[in-house]
Amino acid sequence: MALIVQKYGGSSVADTEAMKRVAQRIVDAHNAGHQVVVVVSAMGDTTDDLLDSAAALTSAPPEREMDILLSAGERISMALLAMAVNELGVEARAYTGAQAGIQTDSRFGAAQIVGMVPERVARAVKDGQVAIVAGFQGISKDDDVTTLGRGGSDTTAVALAAALHADVCEIYTDVDGLFSADPRIVPKAHRLRTLTQEETLEMAAHGAKILHLRAVEFARRYGVPLHVRSSFSEKNGTWISDAPANPELKGLVPDAALKSPEENAMEKPVISGIAHDRSQDKITVTDVPNSPGVAARVFAVVAEVGANIDMIVQNIPVSDPTKANITFTLPEGDARKALDALEAHHDEIGFNELRYNPNIGKLSLVGVGMRTNPGVSARLFSAMSDAGINIDLISTSEIRISVVTRLEDLDRAVQAVHTAFGLDASETEAVVYGGTGR
Amino acid sequence: MALIVQKYGGSSVADTEAMKRVAQRIVDAHNAGHQVVVVVSAMGDTTDDLLDSAAALTSAPPEREMDILLSAGERISMALLAMAVNELGVEARAYTGAQAGIQTDSRFGAAQIVGMVPERVARAVKDGQVAIVAGFQGISKDDDVTTLGRGGSDTTAVALAAALHADVCEIYTDVDGLFSADPRIVPKAHRLRTLTQEETLEMAAHGAKILHLRAVEFARRYGVPLHVRSSFSEKNGTWISDAPANPELKGLVPDAALKSPEENAMEKPVISGIAHDRSQDKITVTDVPNSPGVAARVFAVVAEVGANIDMIVQNIPVSDPTKANITFTLPEGDARKALDALEAHHDEIGFNELRYNPNIGKLSLVGVGMRTNPGVSARLFSAMSDAGINIDLISTSEIRISVVTRLEDLDRAVQAVHTAFGLDASETEAVVYGGTGR
């Protein structure tokens, strides 16, 4: 027997028919002898519909009431899903975020989990019931409903899995798992059988959309094994963990998940996957005095308005070494306020002009194999060069290399690099995994 | 300054446009210097849509989860309404049943209020905010969401008004108030300016649909003045109280509400209104032994299955005085289980047969003036007789006479009696109230 937390996104419970399918999957896991806790998002377009209603009434909705409004979507889906499971002969109990003991701070719309006391959930599964929990929501110490922001249901699921010491947190979505690159850009992208938590973190932080960064961070911090898979098929998806799976899960996880990480590492390619991100903008502050403390002043101003800086490059023009240009990237939503803040501090910083470029794209190569394989950057740069694509900025971590290109070159860059690193499906599936094709 | 509780039903907040209208009304009351607490039902068809979704999944939904599901409707409407009020420049806070301190027992789907601790609501209005509370829902001591059953939002509003010592509980609906009879049956029915709580109780208990019986009982027990009025017009509606209104409410209540009950009584007709009820069925148990204790046995059997008996008649055939026929009426939903229970106790009771008639209608004449005016029954019976309508059963209270007729005669009976008692609008409005017509 294993304890399984299953998370179903909105597309998995888009309507009552989809819900019946999900209910059957839950019941199958229960009948196979496992304890099952389910986290569910709002049905299909519910959240958008609620947002539309709010927008029809006000352009500045109060945050507290917005959270009450949005939390209703998950309450509907969890109650209905519990009914569907009951109908299949397995007792199910639905719990709101508050009832599941998900305690948060009071930052409406983007609340952080500050405590987990899932007593009722634990009691329910101990009594042989399926517990169904509303994703995305919690309760503040003032007894107010809060929502966890984007990717909140993933976070709920991982936090519950951590608190309940679950053997796996299954993240059900509408694709078969994580891929070596976005299949819409690289049709030959292959599904990843396993991925380390560190790699997943880098992928999520640099544009991969399947899993939300906060959930991955949570999983990593508490060592929660994740299994990202499709609710529309029985196929195994991507296993994300730094430890082998509980053997009880055999059949429910990819076979590779049962092996030790060392065994898996031997079979892994140097690069696991390529993430891309179109949502960053670039700002250059030109001709600032090349003296100590100026860069610090620039970023203090930007940080003050809450903009999140990603990459930073400083260069000194050969023509005038007393000046420097500072370039950085940030999420497109933060660009306006950063520009305004810098403009307001023009005299204090002493720059010449602000250059703003929203037309950039970022490609990130991720893989733990990078640590022991020199030459990855060289191979990346030559692939880009062969494809005639200019690299604007570069940043690296121990297991990642990111490069910024012009936005219109991004897709081509991803395709070229995917091929250059031997990730295209026909090769990889056959060579690395010995797969029989999909 | 007065403290006003306003309750808006689903038709008053059917869509965001209707909600804006309601928000404006709330803001008007606030800006007139009053403290305003609002109770709101789910928007238009929300509850039906949720029931449809549940029905698509299961024919036997678990009650606890059904209550979670249905409570979502009010959470949506209260959050949106708070946004709409905020948009008009008045601070509003939305509170769930739990947050408003509405404590109930655990009878899901038909919970009873067992405690009221509306601290947060009281604090909000003290701070100059409008408090918007989800109707129809509460929280059990096990921390489960409960719903109060039919008319639950009215009950929430009256209970809040009682706990907060409100000066009036305004019940907004889609008609102008309570009428002397259902205007769909009697086009000349007139709106009632005032009604005593006792009269309202009898009207609600005997088929008038505007106010739910439980809410009226609550209002009577705690002396909460009610004002039933339309959310689609500025007209005053029906004032229900046994005491004159707080003079601060002048303009917000009918002028008659400011007078003493004695003054109003002098102007009142003998009969205030006529309620009717199509939802009762009739059962006759024939030829039971005419001996002590037999009737008690019949009703013990019926009570055991939870059927609510309304009228009872026992008669003894002239041909065989050792036998008796027992006839009673009960809600149509209870008939099946009552018949089954009686059949199961056939030998013990010793009846000959069970006769079941669903085709009955009940007309009830209500008015405190009945106490001091003899001859009301005679006038009623002769009106029925003149209209050629047979009376089957009769029951009375101090301020009510009810008669049962064949279902197909009911409408005609209501019309005939309405005219016979001088209630038709042209006469009543002119003679009794001196009104100038509507």
Tell me how far apart the alpha carbons of residues B382 and B386 are, in angstroms, rounded to a whole number: 6
> What pLDDT is recorded for position A295?
85
pLDDT level of residue B374 (50, 70, 90 thresholds): confident
| Residues 6+ positions from A399 with CB-CB distance below 8 Å | A198, A199, A202, A366, A367, A368, A370, A371
Residues B423, B271: contact at Cβ < 8 Å?
yes
pLDDT > 70: percent of chain B: 97
Per-residue buried b or exposed e for A204-229, using 16+ beta carbons within 10 Å of the residue's own CB: bbbbbebbbbbbbbbbbeeebbbbbb
Work out the minimum CA distance from B8 to partner chain A, whole angstroms: 17
Question: In chain B, what is the straight-line distance between the N-terminal and C-terminal CA atoms, in Å?
Answer: 30
CB of B258 less than 8 A from some CB of A: no
> What pLDDT is recorded for position B195?
92
Residues A384, A391: contact at Cβ < 8 Å?
yes
pLDDT level of residue A194 (50, 70, 90 thresholds): very high
pLDDT > 90: percent of chain B: 75
The whole-chain average pLDDT of chain B stands at 91
Tell if the CB–CB gap between B79 and A99 is shorter than 8 Å.
no
Residues A376, A271: contact at Cβ < 8 Å?
yes
Q: What integer is the mean pLDDT of B176-185?
A: 93
Q: Which domains does chain A have, with CATH numbers?
A: 3-265 (3.40.1160.10), 269-425 (3.30.2130.10)
Tell me how far apart the alpha carbons of residues A419 and A383 are, in angstroms, rounded to a whole number: 9
pLDDT level of residue B158 (50, 70, 90 thresholds): very high
Q: In this predicted model, what pLDDT tens digit does every residue of A272-305 receive, in sequence order?
A: 999 999 999 999 999 999 888 888 889 999 989 9
Tell me how far apart the alpha carbons of residues B123 and B113 are, in angstroms, rounded to a whole number: 21
Tell if the CB–CB gap between A79 and B65 is shorter than 8 Å.
yes
> What pLDDT is recorded for position A38?
98
Work out the minimum CA distance from B51 to partner chain A, whole angstroms: 10
> Which residue among A19, A54, A75 sits closest to B57, beta carbon to beta carbon?
A19
> What pLDDT is recorded for position B380?
93
Q: What integer is the mean pLDDT of A241-249?
A: 92
On chain B, the residues whose CB falls within 8 A of the CB of A65 are: 79, 82-83, 86, 92-94
Q: What integer is the mean pLDDT of A120-139?
A: 97
**By C-alpha distance, which of A277, A273, A271, A272 is closest to A405?**
A277
Pairwise pLDDT comparison (A375 vs A2), residue with the higher score: A2
**By C-alpha distance, which of B15, B16, B9, B21 is closest to B174?**
B9
- CB within 8 Å of chain B, chain A residues 110-149: 143-145
Tell if the CB–CB gap between B99 and A143 is shorter than 8 Å.
yes
> What pLDDT is recorded for position A264?
76
Residues A70, A147: contact at Cβ < 8 Å?
yes
Tell me how far apart the alpha carbons of residues A257 and A264 are, in angstroms, rounded to a whole number: 8
> What pLDDT is recorded for position A105?
96
Q: In this predicted model, what pLDDT tens digit does every residue of B54-73 receive, in sequence order?
A: 999 999 999 999 999 999 99
> What pLDDT is recorded for position A430?
32
CB of B53 less than 8 A from some CB of A: yes
> What pLDDT is recorded for position B226?
97
> What pLDDT is recorded for position A296?
87
Q: In this predicted model, what pLDDT tens digit does every residue of A29-51 receive, in sequence order?
A: 999 999 999 999 999 999 999 99
> What pLDDT is recorded for position A42?
95
Phi, psi of B81 (to 5 degrees): -65, -40
Any binding-site annotation on A437? Answer: no
* Residues pairing with B147 in the sheet: B137
Q: What integer is the mean pLDDT of B296-303?
A: 90
Tell if the CB–CB gap between B16 and A53 is shorter than 8 Å.
yes
> What pLDDT is recorded for position B116?
96
On chain B, the residues whose CB falls within 8 A of the CB of A56 are: 16
Any binding-site annotation on B174? Answer: yes
The whole-chain average pLDDT of chain A stands at 91
The number of angstroms, rounded, from the C-alpha of B155 to the middle of its chain's C-alpha atoms is: 10
Question: In chain A, what is the straight-line distance between the N-terminal and C-terminal CA atoms, in Å?
Answer: 30
Residue with tokens 């309750």: B7
Q: What integer is the mean pLDDT of A412-435?
A: 71
> Which residue among A65, A73, A87 sits closest to B57, beta carbon to beta carbon?
A87
Strands B280-289, B273-277: pairing is unpaired
> What pLDDT is recorded for position B78?
97
What's the burial of A248, exposed, middle or buried (CB within 10 Å: 0-12/13-18/19+)?
A: middle
Q: How many CB atoms lie within 10 A of CB B91?
A: 14
Written as six digits, the tokens of B26 are 């709330």
> What pLDDT is recorded for position A427?
46
Any binding-site annotation on A9? Answer: yes
**One-character DSSP codes across A238-250:** EEE-SSPPPGGGB
> What pLDDT is recorded for position B434?
28
pLDDT level of residue B437 (50, 70, 90 thresholds): very low
- In terms of phi and psi (left: phi > 0; alpha: psi -120 to 50; beta: otherwise), the region of B202 is alpha
Written as six digits, the tokens of A205 are 């932080």
Q: In this predicted model, what pLDDT tens digit does every residue of B14-27 receive, in sequence order?
A: 999 999 999 999 99
Counting runs of H as helices and runs of E as strands, what totals does chain B give? 14, 20
- H-helix segments, A102-237: 119-126, 152-163, 197-205, 213-222
Residues A14, A4: contact at Cβ < 8 Å?
no
Tell me how far apart the alpha carbons of residues B166 and B175 are, in angstroms, rounded to a whole number: 23
- Does A438 score more than 60 pLDDT? no
Tell me how far apart the alpha carbons of residues B249 and B180 are, in angstroms, rounded to a whole number: 25
CB of B93 less than 8 A from some CB of A: yes
Work out the minimum CA distance from B63 to partner chain A, whole angstroms: 10
> What pLDDT is recorded for position B224?
96
> What pLDDT is recorded for position B319?
82
Tell if the CB–CB gap between A61 and B53 is shorter than 8 Å.
no
Work out the minimum CA distance from B121 to partner chain A, whole angstroms: 13
> What pLDDT is recorded for position B132?
98
> What pLDDT is recorded for position B370?
87
Written as six digits, the tokens of B304 are 């055991």
pTM: 0.86
Written as six digits, the tokens of B216 are 């009226």
Tell me how far apart the alpha carbons of residues B401 and B391 are, in angstroms, rounded to a whole number: 12
